[in-house]
Amino acid sequence: MKTRLHGLVAATHTPFHADGTLAPEVVPLQAAHLAKQGIRSVFITGSTGEGHSLTRAERIEIFEAWAEAGPAHDLVVIAHAGSNCLEDARCFAAAAQDLGLDAVAALAPSYYKPASVGALVECCAVIASAAPSLPFYYYDIPVLTGVRFPMREFLAAAPNRIPNFAGIKFTNDDLAEYSSCLAAGGFDIPWGIDEKLLPALQAGAKGAVGSSYNFAAPLYQKLIAAFEAGDIATARTLQDDAVALIDKLAAIGYLGAAKAVMGWQGVPLGPARLPVPNPTPAQLDALRETLESPVLQP
């Protein structure tokens, strides 16, 4: 599989109008903004993209928008296809392949949860088989799905059932497990927790998928450069800065606040959809006053 999720991968937001309806016409602005910030890959309709709050038609409409905007800005596009309904997930995976996107990912069904690693592999195999020409990534995010299995065991079993298996989007704070997965070799395993990027780099991460890379990519690029230069003290300071930034947004509702920050940078993404809350105008005004000006540059 030629696709590798190395470097910073932006987990993109789904744009809405102020009334909450889909705004796919904003996707080219997103793509241009990310490319200007040095981002080369995007992960669409995942947790940050409110994928589970989109209808089937809306998710495919976003796929279509990125199928045009991604190549126009030299961006690799990974489509999240996961769903509690495996037939819907297969539909999304097939659409991603038909539209010429670069890879597919899926998290575990989370209402009726797979009861074993083997059952999880079977669910992933069903989805991956609908897009056999695309690399398939399992999206491990137990804090949201409630599905938590040793990923070393998943890596041992998945290639036997999933011919196009590429790796794991590892949004799981178990760094020991992450190190073990990297040690297995032969898989692409991007890290998925922005606040712990530096420890993941120290463990051997080659790539990272995250939401704050949409609006703060330069900060993380400096962090990675410092790490690669052996300047761990600077890298730690930059990681602390990233955590402080995320904490400020999280204090008033992270997803809605992050979409607002993107609007301040020239990419109007609208509100988050219920059940995700949105900050009040007063909270956003206070947030803007506390943020460093470089974060707000378009």
Domains of the chain: 7-229 (3.20.20.70)
pLDDT value for 298: 43
Answer whether 0.85 is exceeded by the pTM: yes
pLDDT value for 268: 97
Q: How far apart are CA 190 and CA 200, in angstroms?
A: 9
Q: How far apart are CA 51 and CA 4, in angstroms?
A: 22
Residue 118 buriedness (CB in 10 A; 0-12 / 13-18 / 19+): middle
Low-confidence ranges of the chain (pLDDT < 70): 1-3, 292-298
pLDDT value for 167: 97
Residues 6+ apart with CB under 8 A from 230: none
pLDDT value for 294: 52
Please state, in angstroms and as integers, the Cα–Cα distance from residue 290 to each residue in 216, 243, 248, following that order.
15, 14, 9
- Which DSSP string corresponds to 72-98? HTT-EEEEE---SSHHHHHHHHHHHHH
Active site residues: 139, 169
Nearest to 210 by CA among 243, 235, 237: 243
